[in-house]
Amino acid sequence: MVEHCHILLVSFPGQGHINPAIQFAKCTLQMGAKVTFSTSLSAIRRMSEAASKIPGLTLAPFSDGYDDGWTSAHDVQDFMLSLRTCGSEAVTNLVMAQEKEGQKFTHIVYSTLITWAGEVANQLQIPSTLLWNQPATVLYVYYLYFNKNVDFTGENNEVIEFPGLPLLLKSCDFPSFMQSSSPVIYNFALPVFKEHFEILDRAGTKQKILVNTFDALEFEAIRAINKYDLMGIGPLIPSAFLDGKDPLDTSFGGDLIQKTVDYMDWLNSKDELSVIYVALGSFSSLSKQQMEEIAKGLIESQKPFLWVTREANTLSFIKEFEKQGMIVPWCSQLEVLSHPSVGCFLTHSGWNSCIESLVSGVPVVAFPQWADQPTNAKLLQDFWKTGMRLAAADGGIVMADEVARCLEIVMGGGERGENMRKQAKKWKILAKDAVKEGGSSNVNLKGFMDQIVGSNQSFSS
């Protein structure tokens, strides 16, 4: 019986991990399961009250050693070690406490980077599943890298073919941690991704991996790794912006920063498809020069723009800049992307932003910074054909004229821009189809739930 299923969902305390995890929790709660959501105390403290009001969801915060929050001033490797040490102990204690009370967890689901939760599950002999919050294609690239099935030593001008994928990549398209230019501070990353595969292998038979994607979007990549059973269960997006089954589900409920500026009246005042929405990630921090070049490119575009940034004070001509656009420290991204005035998304190409652009049918200009973003940008431009990637000049800076050029192509009335808009609309329809009753993601999620409750009964979504 599904009501006897109690899932412990453990998430990395970052926005890009919390959002899909919370949405996954909502989906399984609707099927009748009990869900306990666990992440760091600092993240739980910052999350909106909406998370605590999700019917049936239990929050279980733990100290990661940084209860006031981790910032770029802290050493990222120290933080990852502290998160692992504190998190492993906390999850172990939580599992054992629940068992003593006769309400044991029947399954552990853990997000990308939380390898230690999978290890705890193995040690306590509790079935577990990885919730992968990047594209299936990126998982496949990492798999080939660690299994040395592909030679990744090529230079930028060498094209590499990936077995089973209709996709050719150059080294500049790899996840940033695999590139020689990756900063030393991120040396922790590749060992963590390798550990994901090691934990899956130690868990035994062919392991399922839940992926925030859908079959039509990544059909080949989902099936490329025979060793594991990848299941597309996405897009993990609030229902109001996707299938409409729950019109009250208008936010993830886990926002770490709350909206402080009202931008809807400004958007309502703009013409249809006229606004450039700019959001370049919550983790990356751009140099003053790069911020200035983006600002100049936006001005050159002569289009109204809504820019989400907390670094506006670095701009030297902010008053002139604000005549054309609006700058806010935070917004509901799906609310903005679904607004009829938005015609283009200038994005860092984080996976949540990518899939939200696809669900909203909005073409993109991609400005990838790190992690999976270079690969995501490649997919958006050359595989899904919904946008184009900015090209950096010598020195790694993307200049204003390049920003303006790409924005003009994507938003312009030319054939290339029109094709991108058509492709974006196509993926919007396919994304909605995937989560409908009988759609691929709907079927996959029901199949996963059938498996973990140990029966073949069906669950209504």
| Count of alpha carbons within 13 angstroms of residue 95, beta-carbon side | 26
Query: What is the DSSP code (8-state) at residue 332?
Result: -
49 Cβ contact partners less than 8 Å away, ≥ 6 residues apart = none
CA angle 448, 452, 458 (to 5 degrees): 60
What is the layout of strands, in order, in the sheet containing 342-347? 325-328, 305-308, 275-279, 342-347, 364-366, 387-389
Rounded to an integer, what distance in angstroms lies between the CA atom of residue 133 and that of residue 32? 23
Q: Annotated active-site positions, please?
A: 17
381: region left, alpha or beta (phi > 0 left; psi from -120 to 50 alpha): alpha
CA angle 143, 353, 48 (to 5 degrees): 110
> Which tokens in the block code for residue 190?
């590749």
| Count of alpha carbons within 13 angstroms of residue 320, beta-carbon side | 10
Give Cα separations from 212 to 50, 215, 356, 424, 431 (angstroms): 22, 10, 11, 18, 11
DSSP-assigned letters across all residues of 162-223: -TT-S-EE-GGGS-GGGSTT--GGGTTHHHHHHHHHHHHHHT-SS-EEEESS-TTTSHHHHT
**Greatest CA separation for the chain:** 66
270 Cβ contact partners less than 8 Å away, ≥ 6 residues apart = 304, 341
Nearest CA to 80 out of 114, 31, 41, 39 is that of 114
Q: Peptide bond preceding 235: is omega within 30 degrees of 0, i.e. cis?
A: yes
Phi, psi of 307, deg, nearest 5 = -115, 125
3-state secondary structure of 161: strand
- List b or e across 106-128, with b for residues whose CB sees 16 or more CB atoms inside 10 angstroms: bbbbbbbbbbbbbbbbbebebbb
Pairing state between β 34-38 and 6-10: parallel
> Which tokens in the block code for residue 252?
């993830």
